[in-house]
Homo-oligomer: A and B are copies of this chain.
Amino acid sequence: MLENTGQGAVLTESNRACEACALKDLRLPRPLSPRELEVLEQRAKSSAVLDEGATLFSQGDSVNAVYIVRGGAVKTFVTDRNGKEDIIGFFFTGDFIALESLACDLYPMSCAALTKTYICKISRADMQALTRELPSLEEYLFLSVSEELLGSHQLSQILRQLSADERLSSFLLFLSHTNERHKLSGTDLALPMSRREIAGYLGLAVETVSRAFSRLQEKQLIAVNDRNVTLLDIEGLRAQSHCCQSYRDGTFSSEKPVI
């Protein structure tokens, strides 16, 4: 089922762990109904463990499954001609990984684990069967991808308009928000990704990211200790970021203005 994709990846089949997983913390455009959850669980029989750095799929692989992060974190990326990784997105517990790839025959990107990561797999065939017996799931998928697209627009805005410090501020606020979604501290962050990966995501050089960390620390906005970052002044960071703090949480409507 799950292929070993090299790079020291050890993918183990573990249905038992999967049965224990209620898929309850799927990131939600809306909550899944009990019926949806039941059907989804029934299909999500296959699970895997990815060691840090292990590849889940590579650009050019055929898309014959959908993956969900059950625990840990992954990145999706493409590698440019200089060998530099262009990071497309980070995915955390409860996220569908690159759901939009279902529109392709072959993956237009690669995916690798940032830390030890637990993955849930649903085959493409199962997914099709699922949506047939449970039409509302298709709507769920539409909403999921729509929210990803809205988040991508915000990222584009960040890439177009913001300075290095502002980009990093936005990114830290995004991670803070993600942490809170997972019932973790919104101020004490343990970054699962390297400076290089942050740079690849924010469109900056590694050195610039490092300097931005230093400047935010000088300004007393954060305290940096390797990959452990404490947000000391969230409002200050927000002022820095010049942008909605959460550009991927689907709350673009009503309460919070995008700008």
Chain A residues with a Cβ under 8 A of chain B: 29, 59-60, 78-81, 86, 88, 99-106, 108-109, 131, 135, 138-139, 141-143, 145-150, 152-153, 155-157, 159-161, 202-203, 242, 250, 252-254, 257-259
Residues of B within 8 A of A29 (CB): 103
In the complex the two chains form, is A146's CB within 8 Å of B80's CB?
A: no
User: Does the CB pair A153–B152 fall under 8 Å?
Assistant: yes
- Of chain B, the residue at the smallest CB distance from A88 is B153
Further 14 A-B residue pairs, CB within 8 A, beyond A142-B142, A142-B145, A156-B159 = A78-B259, A80-B259, A81-B242, A86-B157, A86-B161, A88-B153, A103-B250, A106-B254, A108-B258, A109-B153, A109-B258, A145-B145, A148-B149, A159-B203
Return the chain B residue nearest A159 by Cβ. B159
Closest-CB distance, A132 to chain B (whole angstroms) = 8
Q: Is the CB of B108 within 8 A of A253?
A: yes
Q: How far is the CA of A77 from the CA of B100 in the complex (A)?
A: 23
Q: Give 25 A-B contacts (CB < 8 Å), ordered by A residue.
A: A29-B103, A60-B257, A78-B258, A80-B161, A86-B161, A100-B145, A100-B146, A100-B149, A101-B146, A102-B143, A103-B143, A103-B250, A105-B254, A106-B253, A108-B150, A108-B258, A109-B258, A131-B139, A135-B138, A138-B142, A145-B145, A152-B156, A156-B156, A159-B159, A161-B203
Cβ contacts under 8 Å, A259 to chain B? 78-81
Q: In whole angstroms, how far apart are the Cα atoms of A152 and B258 in the complex?
A: 18
Candidates B101, B141, B152; contact of A152 at CB < 8 Å: B152
* In the bound complex, CA of A146 to CA of B101 (Å): 7
Q: Shortest CB–CB separation between residue A53 and chain B, in angstroms?
A: 22
Determine the chain B residues whose CB is within 8 A of the CB of A104 once the complex forms: 150, 252-253
Which of A131, A145, A159 is the most central at the interface, judged by chain B CB atoms within 10 Å of its CB? Answer: A145
Task: Report chain B residues within 8 Å CB of A108.
Answer: 150, 153, 252-253, 258
Report the separation of the CA atoms of residues A159 and B139 in the bound assembly, to the nearest whole angstrom. 31
- Cα distance A88–B153 when bound, in Å? 7
